[in-house]
Chains A and B, each alone.
Chain A
Amino acid sequence: MNAVALVKQVPDRNSVFRPAGPWIDESSLGYGINDYDRYAVEAALELREAGAVKQAVVVTAGPDEASQAIRTCLAMGMDRGIHLVCPRASLADPFRVAKALAGVVRAQDAGIVLAGLLAEDSGHGQVGGLVAGLLDMSWASAVTAVRFRDGKLEVERELESSRVAVVELELPAVVAVQTGANTPRYASLRGIMASRRKPVERIEPPELANPDSCDARIRSLRLAKPERAASAEILEGAPDDVAAALIPRIRSGAGIVLGGGAS
């Protein structure tokens, strides 16, 4: 029985994003691993290290450059990778992505599939759950802890109002991991060296070949900066001047007494 982590390569969050029609202009962006997926990978590695699963496998769907995301996961310690090669634009529809991912997961003897809760770019928060539904696996989202117990999986789920649900899942199961679930490791130099010898299988899934397929369930129509109802007054300039301008605004806006040199 193996653990499979689903990892998406997303634009670096510190990039300058420019909307271009239905999506952003992706021509000159740097990419990295989706933050949530680092926690999914760490959870898979911890399960393997505890002997609960045999192999930890990473799967990604994305263009050629996404192989870098797989390499990073292998350097972190994942055993092997599967790359579903497709145009980046084909990733716009979560259903087709989930279908392609489910197709390869099915053949991995997966006892547990770990997705991230959410992709930082598109933010659909559903690919893991769709994979679970398509494969008829049990499922929980917003997971902050996983442990095997008596041949089942016991997970903790984050609810609103600082409450936690403890849920028992029959195997095989898919979980969507929330940030903070663990402390993701960084790739060591040795890990990077070792990753070069680890196998990566390349597959070109037909369902992701054509980004404009009429089979898409969700279409991206427009991406735009939000209109802001109450626009903030923006202050710019030398720090000391900005600070001096801020103090009277805080005093009258917040109605608080400020001490020291503020008077």
Chain B
Amino acid sequence: MNRRVLVLAEPEGDGVTEVSHELLAAAFRLAGDGGPVSAVLPTPDASASMAAAETLGGAEVLLVEGPAHDGRTGEETAAAVRAAVEVTAADLVLLPHTATGWDAAPLLAARLETAVLTGVSSLQWSEDGLTAERQAFQGKFVHEVGTKRLPAVATVERGAFPARPAGSAAQVRTLASPLSLERRRSRLLEIRDAASEGVDLAASDVVVSAGRGMGGPEHLHLVEELASALGGAVGASRAVTDAGWLPHDRQIGSSGVTVAPKLYVACGISGAIQHLVGMRGSRFVVAVNKDPDAPIFGAADVGVVADVKDILPALTRALTGADG
């Protein structure tokens, strides 16, 4: 059975984002037998987006053009995708599980009177709809969900599908956007870089990171002492920087710094995917967590199931020979 799959292609530079090519790979797999795959690319100027469209190998590309598509708000993206759903009669719409998808997918779903399968890492057709795997409880569990409602909307986790190589599009069409400047109710004013002092985390051979499991700022000296015994820098999870225990420039993860040290020590960090993407490139990972089911152990070479307040001082002692 052939199913029609539509993906969002996000313009970036002269092409589209890497995740757009990943969505295309997922779409071709789900469309079966080379079934129709379409890509929608919202743009203020279709002629300027031709080159980007031509990288979407094998897809029928719809350039949804209009002056309101200058900022990629959820409203703009949802309106463009909605228009493309109508033209293509898609059974399934794939968006990236990124800031773009978080913003656009629920608006689109509300219009289609359905819910979104968010953050999916796999998708399959079932007899009466679609099933998907995603994470629940911040990565502690795999959650299998299903929907019978078509068209279905899903946001796909980055890296879940290997990107489809760029190639020429099957066809490129231009569509006038239904969203006008007058009707638009949200508007991008500017994009700027968040100020970051950048303690030299990214350059350190050793990073020792504190998580909420450290229990409070009064225990962070344990992390600092271990980092200094290992000759490394101190990093943190978002829970720690949000709580103000450490400054924001120490945060490692999708909304912080990406590190790839020779040694990464995670202390009281659960291992949510947004943290893991920031440290997955580390050569050797040690995780200390009192919960044997913590997802961080899935990303570690050595796991210690224990209280950080016991293990950290013992390790620091052993490294410095403090107890002779």
Contact = CB atoms under 8 A, between A and B. Distances in A.
Main secondary structure of the interface of B (DSSP, over half): mixed
B40 to A, nearest CB: 18
A81 to B, nearest CB: 24
Instruction: Classify chain A's interface size.
Output: 35 or more
A220 B189 contact: no
B146 to A, nearest CB: 5
Interface in B114-161: 114-119, 131, 134-147, 149
Interface string B92-134: 0000001100110111111101111111000000000001001
Interface in A240-263: 240, 242-244, 246-247, 249-250, 253-256, 258-262
Contacts of A218: 115, 117, 145-147
Interface in A99-126: 117, 120-126
B287 interface: yes
Contacts, number: 285
Nearest to B17: A160
A254 B73 contact: no
Contacts of B292: 234
Interface centre among A13, A120, A159, A168 (most CB of B within 10 A): A159
Interface in A172-193: 176, 179-180, 183
B49 interface: no
A160 B99 CA distance: 7
Contacts of B304: 234-236, 242, 246
A220 B320 contact: no
Interface string A218-239: 1111111110111111111001
23 contacts: A124-B118, A125-B118, A126-B106, A158-B255, A162-B196, A165-B190, A166-B189, A179-B239, A218-B115, A218-B117, A218-B147, A223-B136, A226-B298, A232-B300, A234-B297, A250-B284, A250-B286, A250-B302, A254-B263, A255-B283, A256-B205, A259-B320, A261-B318
